[in-house]
Structure 1
């Protein structure tokens, strides 16, 4: 990031003024007359309160709020919410313009672009041959999840996309006069439409809604963004390494997408086996529709005539095979294009793709009995047809045409196949143990749960190898076990129906032993997904153990080494041809032991996993279960990848993209290109160890962090587990219970109803609720006290930490993220929420502990960064947070007041109270203002 002196937000301020003016006009014409005035009054009163914290100033603000009836408050909150949405658009479109200006000035592009990255590679001595080695191993795999942290309705997201497009056009200097007036009118109309679109969902989201919400981003932005990413990479490759070298480098499919939506059943009783099948079929329909659209475009473009071009023999043979396959159907299709060979071929291809789409639609409707020999039944045949066309075009001198839209479509087939996203299935280990116990009892009379770990592994290894599976009686199995087995049946069926790559991994949460992985393989073997035939092992499923809590992270060595020591498991892993994948959970480890223990535990775990991988000779990929916020492993992807331990990434990274992160990264195609590029270049930089030696971490640095993590964990656990009244404070001084009524997801916010323990509340709701009340302490609590205790008047230790901040990406990223989270906290506002506690003494005491640690964190982070204010090194972000704060503050005061009113409204069920709807609106608005939720 540029230094403060170089930061110029003139263009951004101009964009904000324009959008704010538009919003003001809409409010004056469409809202109650007083709304615009009240919004400005509240914003002004809060700004004054920040300068002068006197009781009188606070009371002025409260008086303005207390006089507002519920319907007026609804409109005021919506105005604030819309302001944040427009502010986000102003920032996003201005950043896009800045990147375009950089491209116009020089080919170096922005920091983190492909050109910038490849230039640095070349300067550091990376040869074209080494680059090819790196690219061959490269796999960037973002995984969409349905974790409920996206508070915006799909309708609102679409409307915001339209506002972004209109506003972005206005930033072009050549839009003048009449055309500018027309653009301004369009923008005004779109903002007015947003004002009249309710942002709060009227009904709860089901799993199908979540599946469709995830698919929404592909036709909107991700198909074209993916094509552009590959095109940009090739252009940068030619610019940096030259035409001759670039021609020798093969660009493989280094980008893929994954999903948990419809496959993640851990803790979500609404995800059934048929849901998993539906998710994959809806994905298959989405990509088939895109292929049809692009085939149509190519058919329009490739109007070559016989006699004016000479297609290759391979192309003509391919065309003839299609005609024979389609028989009489071909006659009607080709009537208008017999003189145009490429249109002829593409018309027949479109017919075959349309037949595939018809089959998918029939299966979605519930009829799986139909087949069609004409339809494309595997991606390889479709990909081959496209490549035959390209090679033919190149043969008669039309490479420039072949390498545009046609090559884009070829790239898309390599990325998306016929499955669109590779679906992960996830379930908790206990479900598998019970299912295996019932099956073994029925088939062999074995009391599995009474066995120790060694005996379990022995039994599992032997029974996996039984040809045809175990002969158990289904009537002896519980409904839960039958459902667990049905999941594997669906996996086998979907691989046949959609393709071998439609699933990525089967993820086991709460993996505590090697037997938990082997249990999944035994269940898979009952449905032909794994086993041994004729002495040969086969395996069509990959299993990923998930380590979530601090205790889980400490057991990685015993679980992973125990697993890889099993000859049967090694044989199955080899037969699958897959890398061993290990998933690390960020959210629960942070909720469990605090940010320092979590961050360091995860860092150490990665080193440990890769050390085991190396010693066992088993290639391994890490799967990072990151959330949107810092407290759940969030933060900028590029920096996060670079902060991983040296030589642990190795070309492969897989990570979850959760909730609101999908909206902010992928709702606009231009931003999607930027985000994907930054992630891929971060992966490339972090993977240099594949072709060049890298410096390992210094032993003394590891020792320092280990001590800091222990101190931080002790401080965090003291607060969250050993401080009387803490959990009462959480439930009474945050809107955690009301978040569950937002209808933003199908998953319950608690594992067990009525259980108010730290374990029961899900990490998403935990972080979301603290953020709403401006106490983002999961992202920083324990850092201040650990730094203070570590230094304890020792200047030498302070110098050591300052050096770490300058030189160690992990430590720098940790404290940079803490600065971001600290900047989003406000202890004065948090005090308003603390007053909601039924026991005032508890509220005051817990708030005092959090506020004291906040001050320690700020003081010590600034001391180590040698800075006079938070985010001094990121002035753009600092300015953004300041802009938001003047509007966030009044919303927080409103929310605290509404929570109090809801508690006092004893005449109504809380959900029926007139205060519930405005309260839910404040949750949406604050989420928009803070730009993250869970």
Structure 2
């Protein structure tokens, strides 16, 4: 199968999987399902070739004549098709990369090979390249934002299909073996058909934690060491082994799952406690598996090779542990020193694991063996074995599984991920106000202006005993807020000092919002001043989300950096300030152009400010999966950051469907991590050479475009009568709120239907489902048209910006993808769901006109005849899905009508099941949900 061109091989796999799905439907579905699926697919394909009102009406009548159960099965068939197409594409992309590597050809843009060659060709010396590597931190953060529709069990089944598909391509199979592989795939598709892909119950936060852990257990523990190996090989290949370049461990992972309590009432202090123990349990289990493999492998005899003196000294020092704690005979492994050491390491890790499990079960025996005091001690033992193997000429034995385990331990420690805690600023203000109010003779904190608040907070933080607190008298909200900080202090002591990442404050409007968190941390012993000096074991990341907040970022951070108390705490914690930027809310607030540009400007301002104050600053990018929430290809997104703002470190959220798309298979996880890391290295050249100056004329053009784009967006969302009714009625938002894909509510305040209350995720999700993708492009066409006018020189300027400026190119490339995913003829079908048809038609008309305007203007600026001409593989991938998405959208419109118009509760519930399945299926087909 491997002699077939790549695009043909992919099409053949898609046809094979589709045919096998057809066989399963023929045998295991209701009799008419396969026929209905085929007729709908063929009918809507005809409509794509040319509109035919008579055929459209006939197809809609067919849909409307189907009962709820048959519709559910039809939708499930489409959904499985999308999963199989995703698997085929992922498999063929991986095989194509492997073929390139095998052929010894130049690798793809974003590969380590391409990145290293570019640096070498540009004259970057080995010393400078090494210096850049020493500054790196690549930190993806997994979040539980409710946009992931796939269950863990479904991911596992698709993984099995991926592996069998790989076997079909890579192995020389006889007819019988080929038949066996095809039967394997058929069996897995049959299992998918018999598995309910929709969760029956809304997931608990602990379910979301387990979902996150899946990617580490099944994929990342294999992928991460391989990524380091690939980077080392690329550097060695390009710079030569004699260059002496050493690749440090710089990949880290973060998580919000179990720590993000902003708007999620189900994340309690005890939830966070359980989450970090679940992380600790998994990482110890995975280390134990690898220690046992090493134990079987490193059978070196001391009579044949001589371990290093340092290693032998450590064995002697461990003799009491071997005899007294482990109860082992002195003779056991007496001539196999590495096995002896690894047996002790196994026992110590086992003791750590038992302790975590006992605490999870609510019991703890302090007399149990202590195990390792920290990950540093575990790493020290691994380094001893590695160095000793080098000592007697067995460096090759140290370079395999042992080096991989060292990389894993350096990356994941005993904590697996750095758990960020997130809470909204108002909760801290309310807690601090109450604490001040409970003190005799204390002033009324809420009546203070910002200057007075900062003074009162600084005073309290520096005080040895700021408050007398009787927790029993506090409101439940304040008590819970304090308990979160207490859990942080307790868990740091129990598991690892590296356990927590940042304390993220959403809706940061003032410097006092950060200082309030510092005061609450002071009360839990995480920060303050002791008899010697200031100490700080917490790092705070203010989150700037709205357009107004992004505009105020310089004022807020400038005030903080100049505050003596905050400055002292920052120095005590390492003098690094992290600032989080909210892509989602700023886009929902002011539209994609204003959001993107304000984020760009905010980054430049805050980095300049930090540099002026001598503070290291890392930016945390709160990107979602979709373009409307800051999504898009990671490599390009990192390169599109403002000049001189990526100083070796980048932190970004990974969430929803992006997690399964990027990290479910280790082969794809390696590729995605490579793209992100090579982008980070390229964007960090400012660390070793002067960065290019910003083009002031380009910045001026973007100022103007952003102003026009925001004007158009706000006119639609805030000044158009009935716009929010259109959103609620002409998208499946009511179904999204009921879908069991996340523990978090879809609105901040349940009864509030305002734009401010609705979360950015369902906002983007709703527009995507109805094929309008509005948040990702609305206002761009208007802005370009208004800027250009009839001035040809201005068009040439925009075209030059597209060619030369990575930021502008990424912006318009992502816009093209969003426009391609939008389908205005399908959006019109959703418009008929509105109660006020006339009003909805008028709003639809505004949206359609802006779509057409944006399409024309973007293609003109990019110099293209059609959308996504520059990314043909992605264009084909999206087009491949449309043949099934078209009927699905029309099915969803029909279901929404029936669900909303049915008066009898029991019959209404009947339509809910296929409606929820349609949301799942469309999300799978578009590959971006929220």
Which residue number in structure 1 is paired with residue 716 of structure 2? 719
**Counterparts of 1:434 and 1:101, CA distance in 2:** 59
Which residue number in structure 2 is paired with residue 240 of structure 1? 238
The 8 Å contact of residues 542 and 578 in structure 1, kept in 2 or not, is answered as: no
Q: Deviations over 1:143-201 (max 9, x none)?
A: 00010000111111111111111112212152343322221111111111111101010
**Counterparts of 2:883 and 2:638, CA distance in 1:** 33
Shift of 1:704: 0.3
The 8 Å contact of residues 334 and 347 in structure 1, kept in 2 or not, is answered as: no
The answer to whether structure 1 residue 885 and structure 2 residue 888 are counterparts is: no
User: Which shifted more, 688-697 or 6-15?
Assistant: 6-15
**Counterparts of 2:246 and 2:876, CA distance in 1:** 43
| Alpha-carbon distance change, 574 to 7 in structure 1, aligned in 2, over 3 angstroms | farther
The 8 Å contact of residues 784 and 861 in structure 1, kept in 2 or not, is answered as: yes
Which residue number in structure 1 is paired with residue 334 of structure 2? 338
User: Which shifted more, 692-701 or 199-208?
Assistant: 692-701
Shift of 1:249: 2.6
**Counterparts of 2:369 and 2:138, CA distance in 1:** 35
Alignment match of 2:516 (pick from 503, 507, 519) = 519
The 8 Å contact of residues 259 and 422 in structure 1, kept in 2 or not, is answered as: yes
**Counterparts of 2:465 and 2:336, CA distance in 1:** 53
1:779-790, aligned counterparts within 5 Å? 779-790=776-787
Shift of 1:51: 2.0
Alignment match of 1:51 (pick from 40, 49, 53) = 49
Which residue number in structure 2 is paired with residue 538 of structure 1? 535
The answer to whether structure 1 residue 791 and structure 2 residue 791 are counterparts is: no
Which residue number in structure 1 is paired with residue 274 of structure 2? 278
The 8 Å contact of residues 575 and 615 in structure 2, kept in 1 or not, is answered as: no
Which residue number in structure 2 is paired with residue 77 of structure 1? 75
Which residue number in structure 1 is paired with residue 772 of structure 2? 775
Query: Cα RMSD (Å) of the superposition?
Result: 1.4
| Alpha-carbon distance change, 758 to 140 in structure 1, aligned in 2, over 3 angstroms | same
**Counterparts of 1:166 and 1:760, CA distance in 2:** 46
**Counterparts of 1:867 and 1:121, CA distance in 2:** 31
The answer to whether structure 1 residue 592 and structure 2 residue 557 are counterparts is: no
SS in 2 for 1:443: coil
The answer to whether structure 1 residue 559 and structure 2 residue 567 are counterparts is: no
SS in 1 for 2:620: strand
Shift of 1:541: 0.5
**Counterparts of 2:24 and 2:167, CA distance in 1:** 20
The answer to whether structure 1 residue 363 and structure 2 residue 374 are counterparts is: no
**Counterparts of 2:174 and 2:182, CA distance in 1:** 11
1:726-737, aligned counterparts within 5 Å? 726-737=723-734
| Alpha-carbon distance change, 809 to 397 in structure 1, aligned in 2, over 3 angstroms | same
Shift of 1:259: 0.4
The answer to whether structure 1 residue 249 and structure 2 residue 245 are counterparts is: yes
The answer to whether structure 1 residue 150 and structure 2 residue 148 are counterparts is: yes
User: Which shifted more, 837-846 or 584-593?
Assistant: 837-846
TM-score, structure 1 normalization:
0.98
User: Which shifted more, 776-785 or 26-35?
Assistant: 26-35
Alignment match of 2:61 (pick from 63, 69, 86) = 63
1:404-423, aligned counterparts within 5 Å? 404-423=400-419
Q: Deviations over 1:874-903 (max 9, x none)?
A: 111111111110110000000000000111
The 8 Å contact of residues 549 and 589 in structure 1, kept in 2 or not, is answered as: yes
**Counterparts of 1:373 and 1:81, CA distance in 2:** 51
| Alpha-carbon distance change, 333 to 750 in structure 1, aligned in 2, over 3 angstroms | farther
The 8 Å contact of residues 334 and 348 in structure 1, kept in 2 or not, is answered as: no
Shift of 1:469: 4.3
**Counterparts of 1:106 and 1:634, CA distance in 2:** 33
**Counterparts of 2:873 and 2:658, CA distance in 1:** 19
| Alpha-carbon distance change, 838 to 387 in structure 1, aligned in 2, over 3 angstroms | same
Q: Deviations over 1:759-810 (max 9, x none)?
A: 1110000001110000101000000111111111111111110111111101
Shift of 1:468: 4.4
**Counterparts of 1:368 and 1:516, CA distance in 2:** 38
**Counterparts of 1:848 and 1:56, CA distance in 2:** 23
Which residue number in structure 1 is paired with residue 254 of structure 2? 258
Alignment match of 1:866 (pick from 860, 863, 868) = 863
Q: Deviations over 1:436-479 (max 9, x none)?
A: 11112223522111111111111111110112442233344211
**Which consecutive segments of 4 or more residues in structure 1 shift more than 4 A?**
333-336
Which residue number in structure 2 is paired with residue 739 of structure 1? 736
SS in 2 for 1:914: helix
Shift of 1:337: 2.6
1:365-404, aligned counterparts within 5 Å? 365-368=361-364, 370=366, 372-404=368-400
SS in 2 for 1:171: helix
SS in 1 for 2:674: helix
Which residue number in structure 2 is paired with residue 267 of structure 1? 263
User: Which shifted more, 367-376 or 180-189?
Assistant: 367-376
User: Which shifted more, 55-64 or 256-265?
Assistant: 55-64
Shift of 1:231: 1.1
Q: Deviations over 1:245-284 (max 9, x none)?
A: 1xx3332221000000111101111001111111110000
SS in 2 for 1:544: strand
Q: Deviations over 1:213-254 (max 9, x none)?
A: 101111100001001011111111211111111xx3332221
The answer to whether structure 1 residue 612 and structure 2 residue 636 are counterparts is: no
Which residue number in structure 1 is paired with residue 827 of structure 2? 830
Which residue number in structure 1 is paired with residue 431 of structure 2? 435
**Counterparts of 2:124 and 2:173, CA distance in 1:** 44
1:556-705, aligned counterparts within 5 Å? 556-705=553-702
SS in 1 for 2:811: helix
**Counterparts of 1:370 and 1:107, CA distance in 2:** 59
**Counterparts of 2:653 and 2:376, CA distance in 1:** 28
SS in 1 for 2:423: strand
Q: Deviations over 1:574-631 (max 9, x none)?
A: 0111410000000000001000000001011111111111111111000000000000
User: Which shifted more, 442-451 or 528-537?
Assistant: 442-451
Shift of 1:33: 2.3
The 8 Å contact of residues 426 and 509 in structure 1, kept in 2 or not, is answered as: yes
| Alpha-carbon distance change, 461 to 305 in structure 1, aligned in 2, over 3 angstroms | same
The 8 Å contact of residues 417 and 499 in structure 2, kept in 1 or not, is answered as: yes
The 8 Å contact of residues 323 and 329 in structure 2, kept in 1 or not, is answered as: no
Which residue number in structure 2 is paired with residue 21 of structure 1? 19
Q: Deviations over 1:337-380 (max 9, x none)?
A: 33211111101110111011000001111235636454112001
Shift of 1:909: 6.0
The 8 Å contact of residues 45 and 60 in structure 1, kept in 2 or not, is answered as: no
Which residue number in structure 2 is paired with residue 327 of structure 1? 323
The 8 Å contact of residues 149 and 658 in structure 1, kept in 2 or not, is answered as: yes
The 8 Å contact of residues 642 and 686 in structure 1, kept in 2 or not, is answered as: yes
Which residue number in structure 1 is paired with residue 302 of structure 2? 306
**Counterparts of 1:468 and 1:455, CA distance in 2:** 20
**Counterparts of 2:131 and 2:439, CA distance in 1:** 49
Q: Deviations over 1:92-136 (max 9, x none)?
A: 000001101110111643321111111111111111111111111
Which residue number in structure 2 is paired with residue 764 of structure 1? 761
**Counterparts of 1:606 and 1:736, CA distance in 2:** 33
Alignment match of 2:31 (pick from 33, 37, 49) = 33
**Counterparts of 2:317 and 2:348, CA distance in 1:** 13
**Counterparts of 2:701 and 2:718, CA distance in 1:** 25
Structure 2: gaps (5+ residues):
none
Which residue number in structure 2 is paired with residue 3 of structure 1? none
Counting matched residue pairs gives 926
Shift of 1:21: 1.3
**Counterparts of 2:547 and 2:370, CA distance in 1:** 54
The 8 Å contact of residues 205 and 745 in structure 1, kept in 2 or not, is answered as: yes
The answer to whether structure 1 residue 875 and structure 2 residue 872 are counterparts is: yes
TM-score, structure 2 normalization:
0.98
SS in 2 for 1:756: coil
SS in 2 for 1:624: strand
SS in 2 for 1:332: coil
Shift of 1:15: 1.2
